[in-house]
Structure 1
Amino acid sequence: MEKTASLNQIEHVETAAHLEAEYLARFPLLATKTEEELAKLNKSVLRKLDWKFLPCITMMLLMSYLDRINVSNARLAGMQEDLHMSDVEWSAGISLFYVGYIITQIPGNVFIAKHEPRVIMPLVMLTWSVVTICMPAAKSPWAFMLCRFLVGVTEGPFVPMVTLLTSSWYTKHESPIRMGIWHAGNIISNVFSGLLAAGILTNMDNIAGLHAWQWFLLLEGIVSILVACGSFWLLPNFPNNTGTYYFTEEEQEMAKYRMLVSSGGHSEDDEGDMWGGVWMAVKDPFTWLFAAMHFALIIAQSFKDFFPSIVKTLGFGTVATYFIQAPPYVFAYLFTLLVSWSSGRMLEHGWHIIAAISMTLVGTVVMISTLNVGARYFSLFLLCAGPFLGLNIQLSWETTVVPRPRTKRAALIAIANCVSSVSHWFTPYFFLQNQAPRYQLGGGCIIVGCGLTIVFALLTKWWSWKKNQELIKEEERTGVHNPWRYAS
């Protein structure tokens, strides 16, 4: 009875006592421990993850997203004019980032599934930081486009790597809120970008002969290098190959045990070769359902690279425009944490995504249908709330329903991210300056993304239900209890 209670404390699922005993038997250092000792070890593992790993990847993602969106505020400070770029050339530079971004995602994420993320991830970050520092030297549209392409190549594997690593350490109930916390890198970067822009872009023009936007990019690149260097000491590998530099031997076994229970008895220890996992993912309908949903969510989020330009249409001064970008994103982050917690507690994803993206749908309609400043600013809060939350829960969902083997999960994450990134090849052309202030085409694009998100969330819920019905029928046929169920 003590062992059964400890399992329920570690993972909120009902599992037969004989299955728990079988799981514990695989871990000699845990097999003889009492309920209290197991609970204490579980808390110790979570504490180290939450206070070392989670802050580290949050900071790394913050710098990653700052690096991705910094050109949006640099544009307001005259970068486009200084490099003599037309709207089409500027949008081409935005799109080329995602060309490079797509190229490296699948090989990068599958490679890291077999190797050491604590070394590879900081090196990837150092590489894109160096490219960012080189960008202020750009003197022409072609130089800008090349730099954005190279930043995309180096950043491509990073978000899939973080998703893979998080899903390897946190259970399916813990994952949504933790992914929500590190998703701050995506959301809060927009806050910091606006605040940094207010401080740098309005005060550093012509210092040492550089434009303010050059200082903006240069300083962000330097901070990114510092964060990358610190992360070498704060990141673990995977539960099966993290040494005692991070956990004690007992904590290592507890980390493996937690994930074994969460995945219904499927071990985190990977199997097969790298490309075998890719082929497994390609054959799984879940991969393409999540890829389609991810694609739709990124379309619904297509305003992000142009958010400063949208805020500018409200008619405030330059400094005020930088500052008022922050509140909608702060709201989006708090909203993401609250709803992600609910999703993990209930182990439900689809309806949470649908409810959130419906808010964005309403906000977009308001944004393109009125010029009232108060109504339009309120619409920006709704606009930001849905896509970031939806993306966070979708990432947690896909790693929950396809937990093992690791290379398959890595490939699924990367394929979905690759498919979604294709949207960046065309959505920048819907937010041209001559569409201001309503940006009707851009708004229409967001509405389409919201609608498709709802459709694919419903389809994925249906497919999860269908797979669960197959498991129930198999149990009835064989008489063998299988605790695993696909989360919906």
Structure 2
Amino acid sequence: MVAQPTEDRKSIESKVDVQFVEEQSASALTTEQILQQYPLLKDKPAKERDSINKKLLRKLDFFFLPCVTLMLIMCFLDRINVSNARLAGMQKDLHMTDTQWSAGISMFYVGHLISQLPGNVILARGNPRILLPVCMLCWSAVTISMTALSSPWSFIFCRFLVGFFEGPFTPAVSLMTSSWYTKNESPLRMAIWHAGNIVSNVVSGLLAAAILTKMHNIGSLSAWQWFILIEGIASIIIAVSAFWFLPKWPHNTGTYYLTAEESAMAQFRMQVSNGGISEDDEGGRWAGIVMAAKDPFTWLFTVLHFFVIMAQSFKDFFPSIMATFGFGTTETYLLQAPPYIVAFISCCAVSWSSGRVLEYFWHMAAAMLVGLAGTVVMISTLQQAARYFSLFLLCSGPFIALNLQLSWETAVVPRPRTKRAALVAIANSLSNVTHWFTPYFFLTNQEPRYETGGGSIIAACGASVIVLIIIRWYIAKKNKQLIKRQEETGETNTWRYVT
């Protein structure tokens, strides 16, 4: 729910949206009452507070945001590197059948499912400055070890370990973003770091063109081994650097990162955004899980996330889809990049629009329908130009929708942090169940159309729109209840859930 600003729009108070989540009877604190809790800010004029806010945002945008974006690029590169390695002979060298290869892809997400909820809840009360780089170092070490694989079962086991260590990472970055940025700011910032998911596909294609076609049998290593090794080493370098660029949480990040005034501003912004209650004030780790499990929003967003992720099932097989277009090897690698570049630009533009007007439903529904249209074209024709154009639509739609969902679910349930962490982890981990079965929809015997895979994406896009309608209806119902309670009690309450 978003409070309508009543003060000067140039002041920091009008730039921070107020969100009321829990069904509490007590009236929330006003912005002025919250401000009195921060001695370093309360006596400063609005113009000076606004200046502190801008400095804080610049610091976050120039340090935190680029750092997590680079980390996520490497995270997603480690996730998809085997797709291009497959084209370079990895599956053949390891003597793997299609079923064994798909099992390895699926086991990655089994690791995800196991680690996401406990990992994210532990991090919500822990130190992300340490925990996130450590997770990255662990999955990078496993990735590098994959250059020594010699059997299908070792491949399956390593993919499980990479998934296990990567599991808490994306939900944790979503949690951190929602703890440092307001709801107006969050969609665009999430689009930027979530672009790691998109940019990784661009980088992977370019690296594949440079490495997989040029480095075969150099130093007695296959091209795919060099491909995985170089990405793993780069990931370790970024992980080590992250120790110096990540903050903790607004209430406990030290002077190594923020001034005392910036720290107070970070806490003030988020307390206003959370309806007057600090996200650190309520419940422990287990209490947050219980609260999330009881909240219908958790399960609505979990179902939505399930279908959005299912609509992205093509990405693990994108190089294989491109290979059916009849281009040369180098062209196949390079032509993977443009659809994802357009997807990145579209994601940033749509997310900026969503954050500016604080609207999610129509933005997400339109994105999923675009993805549906692209899939229909991809499987209904073999005409090269039309199929390539369809990939632009297919890449853009689900990626845009996923980014907006991450922002939306943290906007309607912003506190306490452990509850938000549990919600994000539950939705993300259960949605990854789709990866247990969708790899079997993209078998080589269905080339070039991949009718089963395309049909599942069409069904997922349509189902996601239906779930979006249900979520919008539920939010409207909750807002009507708030209006009714206001009329019955006489409380002044202009807050509403964001639709």
What TM-score do the two structures reach when normalised by structure 2?
0.96
Deviation at 1:476, TM superposition (A): 1.4
- Mapping for residues 246-257 of structure 1, pairs under 5 Å: 246-257=257-268
Deviation at 1:9, TM superposition (A): 4.1
Structure 1 residues 80 and 248, CA, compared in 2 at 3 Å: closer, same or farther? same
State the distance in 1 between where 2:123 and 2:336 align. Answer: 36
Q: Is the 8 A contact 1:310 1:437 kept in 2?
A: yes
| Residue equivalent to 1:433 | 444
Q: Is the 8 A contact 1:172 1:344 kept in 2?
A: yes
| Residue equivalent to 1:446 | 457
State the distance in 2 between where 1:308 and 1:6 align. Answer: 49
| Residue equivalent to 2:299 | 288
Q: Is the 8 A contact 1:124 1:155 kept in 2?
A: yes
Structure 1 residues 17 and 143, CA, compared in 2 at 3 Å: closer, same or farther? closer
Query: Given the alignment, which residue of 3, 8, 11 partners 1:6?
Result: 11
- Mapping for residues 458-473 of structure 1, pairs under 5 Å: 458-473=469-484
| Residue equivalent to 1:128 | 139
Please state whether the residue corresponding to 2:354 is helix, strand or coil. helix
The amino acid of 1:386's aligned partner reads: G
Question: When the two structures are aligned, how many residues end up with a matched partner?
Answer: 488
Deviation at 1:18, TM superposition (A): 7.7
Deviation at 1:2, TM superposition (A): 7.3
Deviation at 1:452, TM superposition (A): 1.2
| Residue equivalent to 1:368 | 379
| Residue equivalent to 1:52 | 63
Query: Given the alignment, which residue of 82, 90, 96 partners 1:71?
Result: 82
- Residue segments in structure 2 that go unaligned for 5+ positions in a row: 1-5, 21-26
Please state whether the residue corresponding to 1:426 is helix, strand or coil. helix
Structure 1 residues 372 and 22, CA, compared in 2 at 3 Å: closer, same or farther? same
| Residue equivalent to 2:331 | 320
Deviation at 1:466, TM superposition (A): 1.0
Structure 1 residues 121 and 397, CA, compared in 2 at 3 Å: closer, same or farther? same
Structure 1 residues 401 and 210, CA, compared in 2 at 3 Å: closer, same or farther? same
Query: Given the alignment, which residue of 38, 43, 48 partners 1:27?
Result: 38
- Does residue 385 of the first structure (1) align with residue 390 of the second (2)? no
| Residue equivalent to 2:422 | 411
The amino acid of 1:10's aligned partner reads: K
Q: Is the 8 A contact 1:132 1:217 kept in 2?
A: yes
The amino acid of 1:351's aligned partner reads: W
State the distance in 1 between where 2:241 and 2:420 align. Answer: 28
Deviation at 1:473, TM superposition (A): 1.3
Structure 1 residues 34 and 427, CA, compared in 2 at 3 Å: closer, same or farther? same
State the distance in 2 between where 1:14 and 1:405 align. Answer: 12
Compare 218-227 and 237-246 and name the one that shifted more. Answer: 237-246
Query: Given the alignment, which residue of 219, 231, 243 partners 1:208?
Result: 219
Please state whether the residue corresponding to 2:215 is helix, strand or coil. coil
State the distance in 1 between where 2:298 and 2:394 align. Answer: 27
- Mapping for residues 301-380 of structure 1, pairs under 5 Å: 301-380=312-391
Structure 1 residues 371 and 2, CA, compared in 2 at 3 Å: closer, same or farther? closer
Structure 1 residues 18 and 7, CA, compared in 2 at 3 Å: closer, same or farther? farther
Q: Is the 8 A contact 2:12 2:53 kept in 1?
A: no
- Does residue 474 of the first structure (1) align with residue 485 of the second (2)? yes
The amino acid of 1:405's aligned partner reads: P
Structure 1 residues 328 and 5, CA, compared in 2 at 3 Å: closer, same or farther? closer
State the distance in 2 between where 1:444 and 1:23 align. Answer: 52
| Residue equivalent to 2:192 | 181
Deviation string, structure 1 residues 132-191 (Cα, Å, up to 9, x no partner) = 000010000001001000101110100011000000000011000000000111000000
Compare 142-151 and 255-264 and name the one that shifted more. Answer: 255-264
- Does residue 155 of the first structure (1) align with residue 169 of the second (2)? no
Q: Is the 8 A contact 1:3 1:21 kept in 2?
A: no
State the distance in 2 between where 1:450 and 1:321 align. Answer: 27
State the distance in 2 between where 1:324 and 1:370 align. Answer: 19
Structure 1 residues 18 and 105, CA, compared in 2 at 3 Å: closer, same or farther? closer
Q: Is the 8 A contact 1:10 1:42 kept in 2?
A: no
Please state whether the residue corresponding to 2:303 is helix, strand or coil. helix
Higher RCO (CA < 8 A, seq sep 6+): 2
Q: Is the 8 A contact 1:125 1:225 kept in 2?
A: yes
Q: Is the 8 A contact 1:184 1:333 kept in 2?
A: yes
- Does residue 106 of the first structure (1) align with residue 117 of the second (2)? yes
The amino acid of 2:403's aligned partner reads: N
The amino acid of 1:48's aligned partner reads: K
The amino acid of 2:76's aligned partner reads: Y
The amino acid of 1:62's aligned partner reads: I
What TM-score do the two structures reach when normalised by structure 1?
0.98
The amino acid of 2:463's aligned partner reads: L
Percent sequence identity over matched residues? 62
Please state whether the residue corresponding to 1:400 is helix, strand or coil. helix
Deviation string, structure 1 residues 40-75 (Cα, Å, up to 9, x no partner) = 011011000000000000000000000000000000
The amino acid of 2:435's aligned partner reads: H
The amino acid of 1:352's aligned partner reads: H
State the distance in 2 between where 1:417 and 1:133 align. Answer: 26
Deviation at 1:267, TM superposition (A): 1.3
State the distance in 1 between where 2:138 and 2:348 align. Answer: 31
State the distance in 2 between where 1:315 and 1:451 align. Answer: 30
Structure 1 residues 21 and 9, CA, compared in 2 at 3 Å: closer, same or farther? closer
State the distance in 2 between where 1:427 and 1:350 align. Answer: 26
Alignment root-mean-square deviation, CA: 1.6
State the distance in 1 between where 2:288 and 2:275 align. Answer: 19
Deviation string, structure 1 residues 419-460 (Cα, Å, up to 9, x no partner) = 100000000000000100000000001001101110111111
- Mapping for residues 240-251 of structure 1, pairs under 5 Å: 240-251=251-262
Please state whether the residue corresponding to 2:313 is helix, strand or coil. coil
Q: Is the 8 A contact 1:302 1:427 kept in 2?
A: yes
Deviation at 1:108, TM superposition (A): 0.3
Deviation at 1:11, TM superposition (A): 2.1
| Residue equivalent to 2:24 | none
